[in-house]
Structure 1
Amino acid sequence: MSTIHTDLLNAEVRYYDNGTFRTRVIEAGSGPALVMMHGGGGHAEAFSRNVERLSKHFHVICPDFIWHGLSSCPPFASGNWVRQFSDQMLALLDQMGIARASFEGESLGGWIAIDLALRHPERVEKIILNTAWGMDMGTERSGEMPSLKEASLNALRNPSRETIRRRMEWLMPLGGTTDEIVDVRLAMWSRPATREALLEYYERLFAPECANYLFRAPDLAKIPVPTLLLWTEKNPITGPDTAHAMADVIPDAQVHVVANAAHWPQWERPEEHDEVVTAFLQRTR
């Protein structure tokens, strides 16, 4: 059975620091750049099952967002603080000497992929929105939001294998949670700086004013790059109807729905994920 360690044997862990953002990156391969951005509370290991396969075709770059993992925890900006994630990704590309990249964003990462495509299209080839969050299509399963907030804050305030496992099982209720990923998340969420930053992140994320930063249909209609909506049957936040509603307004969009997966299809169904992503990225416009 593979482990995170064996999955990443051919990858490197590097740190890029431009004085504003210090970013931990799992990196492998060569060719067109593919930046894979994790969800809220997560870390680069969310894509550990995908790095080896995808690195045969692409320069795979899996960063820890600021306030997450082992990246730095700068002060939160006033106003639209979500854009700080985009600023971090642009700074990372600059430091790596990469002019343009494709971006896959899972959950929170999808929010950032949309923001990058809208505000910095000159840096974006294609985007993959993997069970993305950050948009208001009127299809959200709002009943899941309190349970996500409660599970997240409880695990941060009382980090243990039990509380972390419950949080991971919210992501993967169909059985994808392993002891290893629980241990990695526990190590990350037990770091004082990360814990304090994530507690503030979740308070801001669930604050009423955060709704002002969500994207809506008129925004999505302006996405100028090819877009893959990679969704799942059992996504706890939004179902496949959201992906199809988004595809109806994004000019160049396609939908792929993964069966028997929830909020981490790249982990729950890695082979299918990688096959679909590779085909999309290698498709000519």
Structure 2
Amino acid sequence: MILAHDDSGGGPSVVLLHAGVADRRMWDPVVDGLSQVFRVVRPDLRGFGDSPLPAEEYVDADDVAAVLDHLGIADAVVVGNSLGGRVALELTARHPERVRELVLVSPALREAEPGPDLLAFGAREEALLEAGDVEAAVALNVDTWLGPRADDAARAALTAMQRRAVEVQLAAEADAAERGLAPGRPRHVTVRPEHVAVPTLVVSGGHDMGHFRAVADHLVATVPGAERLDLDWAGHLPTLEDPDAIEPLLLDVLRDDPTVHAP
């Protein structure tokens, strides 16, 4: 299947991969600005936004590569937030020729053991969903993942995206169960950060969960030549929290401005 996606602008190609609490709409606040300079591709990963979740095993990185094939794009700079960061790393592992550069914002990593803060969040979310309280589970996600700069519009946008993800995934699970099938699950892709061979920037929020700051520490220490950029104002989703701050930063990084990381 070809993931639902948007393709806008012209110039060097940039792929934006969304967080697991959102969908491709999380990039709405910055896509117009980026599209003035770049060709910007935004897919919805399976089970998010407008991409269904079939009852089959799949590989997110292969899905992204298939979108690039569909659009005739040989390679791209890949920007991934959270789950999107994990998929960006998996794309680099499975299809290294498709990735020119990585920008990993609060990235996830399968190989990282979940910290106590992430485990506590997961247990609370699971309990709410098992009780059928979808709205409380959605509110928990919004409260957990948005940093202090997020305004009411950002909270409303994330609420809509997270509610959509829960609805799509619960419906897929119910459909699979009715047909006696296992629900769709991503296949494990091993990522060896020490084998990443493209320029990599790891962005971390000062208000993000400790687990993800630890993942950032690990990636900066193990990806050859990786650089780190700490945003003291940001939580887990800086594009939603303060697009006016993150858009020029992304433009400078993607243009390869040598002064962007200067203190």
TM-score range, shorter chain: 0.7 to 0.9
Judge conservation of contact 2:197–2:224 (CA < 8 Å) in 1: yes
Deviates more, 1:164-173 or 1:113-122: 164-173
Counterpart code for 2:247: D
Judge conservation of contact 1:233–1:239 (CA < 8 Å) in 2: no
Which secondary structure state, in structure 2, belongs to the residue aligned with residue 143 of structure 1?
helix
- How far did residue 171 of structure 1 move? 0.7
Which residues of 2 match residues 210-249 of structure 1 at below 5 A?
A: 213=189, 215=191, 219-238=192-211, 240-249=213-222
Answer yes or no: is 1:180 the counterpart of 2:156. Answer: yes
Q: Deviations over 1:193-221 (max 9, x none)?
A: 4433479999969xxxx9x7564xxx101
Work out the CA distance in 2 between the residues paired with 1:26 and 1:257: 29
Work out the CA distance in 1 between the residues paired with 2:37 and 2:94: 27
Q: Deviations over 1:135-185 (max 9, x none)?
A: 4456x533322313532663584333x542222111115262635315523
Q: Deviations over 1:231-280 (max 9, x none)?
A: 11121153545424322221131111111221101211323322232222
- How far did residue 118 of structure 1 move? 1.8
- How far did residue 60 of structure 1 move? 1.3
Aligned to 1:167: 141
Which secondary structure state, in structure 1, belongs to the residue aligned with residue 161 of structure 2?
helix
Q: Structure 1 stretches of 5 or more lacking a match? A: 1-20
Equivalent residue pairs, number: 249
Give the direction of change, closer, same or farther, for the CA distance of 1:97–1:203 in structure 2 (3 Å limit).
closer
Which secondary structure state, in structure 1, belongs to the residue aligned with residue 64 of structure 2?
helix
Give the direction of change, closer, same or farther, for the CA distance of 1:237–1:70 in structure 2 (3 Å limit).
farther
% identical aligned pairs: 21
- TM-score in terms of structure 1 length: 0.75
Work out the CA distance in 2 between the residues paired with 1:38 and 1:125: 19
- How far did residue 46 of structure 1 move? 1.3
Judge conservation of contact 2:80–2:86 (CA < 8 Å) in 1: yes
Asked which structure has the greater RCO (Cα within 8 Å, sep 6+), the reply is 2
**61, 69, 79: which is aligned to 1:86?**
61
Aligned to 1:106: 81
- TM-score in terms of structure 2 length: 0.81
**129, 137, 145: which is aligned to 2:104?**
129
Judge conservation of contact 1:23–1:92 (CA < 8 Å) in 2: yes
Work out the CA distance in 2 between the residues paired with 1:262 and 1:183: 16
- The alignment's C-alpha RMSD in Å is 3.1
Judge conservation of contact 1:118–1:224 (CA < 8 Å) in 2: no
Aligned to 1:56: 36
Work out the CA distance in 1 between the residues paired with 2:38 and 2:77: 10
